[in-house]
Amino acid sequence: MARQWNSHPLLVTFCLLALWFGKKQWVIGEPVAPCFFIFGDSLVDGGNNNFLNTAAKVDYLPYGVDFPGGPTGRFSNGKTVADVISERLGLPNYIPAFASAIPATGLLQGVNYASGSAGILVETGKFQTLYNLGARKIALAGISKIGCTPFAKTIAGRKGCVDSQNAAVVPFNKLLRDLAGRLNQDFPDAKFVYLDTMAATDLLLRSLPNTQEPCCQVQTVGLCIPNGTFCDQRDTYVYWDAFHPTQAANYIVGPFLYQTLKQIL
């Protein structure tokens, strides 16, 4: 028996954005969202930086060592949190990177616009434009506890999280959470939700034993050394390099964030 879903494209921003377009009837067992659009930085980059003139490029081993087909430009040993959420949504394929050659039919499933080292600009926050294009379900992910990354700890010369860096994130996340509330009032036929990535960091640090060191051997900039060594027990590490989580970590964060995403599905 078919179920009528009020489905729109999902747009997630990792700090960040996701969205759905159009109404569609779904049969039970099919995707819970027709498509998924991703905006963000290296945490969810699906390979866009491979095609850009940037030093923030990871199209080499050991990146992708656990991903089907090897290195793709993802800043992890395997799947990103966006990949994990796509699986939870029931989408059949990975969301393609915008800069790659995307077949016309591939656009119907969504596009990944995320780019490593991307920042936050006025141009990336035009919700009215996205709304006019059909975005109706939007998730806004806050900034995680950046003071707990191996890079932050190394610079500070300590083993514990750098509290000053984590504290600096709190005001931004509060404003982002408040923004989601205001947007729900301004656009009553759309749904906005805030994703608490600081709580996700706390969950990670409680769930995996290796929280201090990156799994791969890193350069001074914090990225893995090309063709460098890496740990064997990758499923026990929070961080793949000095900044980015392992696939194992993303399989903890993804389901955690998805519980909030379900509120707008």
CB within 8 Å of 153: residues ≥ 6 apart: 159, 160, 161, 162, 212
Q: What angle (nearest 5°) sits at the alpha carbon of residue 196, between those of residues 8 and 181?
A: 60
244 is catalytic: yes
Place of tokens 């509330």: 181
The residue from 7, 83, 86, 244 that is catalytic is 244
CA atoms within 13 A on the CB side of 255: 7
The residue from 41, 45, 83, 241 that is catalytic is 241
The residue from 7, 42, 76, 115 that is catalytic is 42
Q: What angle (nearest 5°) sits at the alpha carbon of residue 124, between those of residues 162 and 115?
A: 65
The residue among 87, 56, 92 whose CA lies nearest residue 74 is: 56
Place of tokens 């990103």: 80
8 is catalytic: no
202 is catalytic: no
Catalytic residues: 42, 241, 244
